[in-house]
Amino acid sequence: MDLIVDESTGSAVASWLRSEGYDALSIRDVLPPLPDEQTLALAVRMDRIVITNDKDFGELVFRDGRPHRGIILLGLPNTLRATKLAVLQRLLADPPDDLSTCFIVVTEHAARVTRSGGGIPE
């Protein structure tokens, strides 16, 4: 599973994901800050699932119909690293099938999966 961690989520999350064996690229570590549209386009080009705290990705996918390869939105009331890691660990222990078509909102108590039909256009 190849991931791209948005700058809103932080490079510590990407580091943890790498320590868990995932191919995780942190925007914050390798690029200057990018607008959400460019982050999403980069993720599509690189065939990576976006992990973000930024709700604007929902507008890009559902309102604007932008393609994606999967979005995991951390819908958390705080931005503590330990909370982010805990919800990601729970989600990634049993991920939904075909993450590339999913927009997932993860909270401390649940994960809501929506099949956006996004994916990469043929």
Share of the chain above pLDDT 70, in %: 94
**Tens of pLDDT, residues 30-62:** 777 789 999 999 999 999 999 999 999 999 999
Of residues 45, 1, 47, 8, the one with CA closest to residue 26: 8
Residue 122 in any domain: the answer is no
CATH number of the domain where residue 58 is located: 3.40.50
**Mean pLDDT over each residue of the chain, to the nearest integer:** 89
What integer pLDDT is reported at residue 32 of this predicted model? 75
DSSP character for 34? -
The answer to whether the beta carbons of residues 104 and 96 sit under 8 Å apart is yes
Tell whether the model's pLDDT for residue 90 goes beyond 90. yes
Listed in sequence order, the residues at least 6 apart from 48 whose beta carbon sits closer than 8 Å to its beta carbon are 2, 3, 4, 25, 42, 69
Residue 79 in any domain: the answer is yes
Q: CA–CA distance from 117 to each of 2, 41, 59, 66 (Å)? A: 19, 16, 14, 10
Residue 18 in any domain: the answer is yes
Domains in the chain: how many in total? 1
What integer pLDDT is reported at residue 122 of this predicted model? 33
Q: Whole-structure pTM over 0.85, yes or no?
A: yes
Residue 82 in any domain: the answer is yes
Q: What is the residue range of 52's domain?
A: 2-115
Tell whether the model's pLDDT for residue 81 goes beyond 50. yes
Residue 120 in any domain: the answer is no
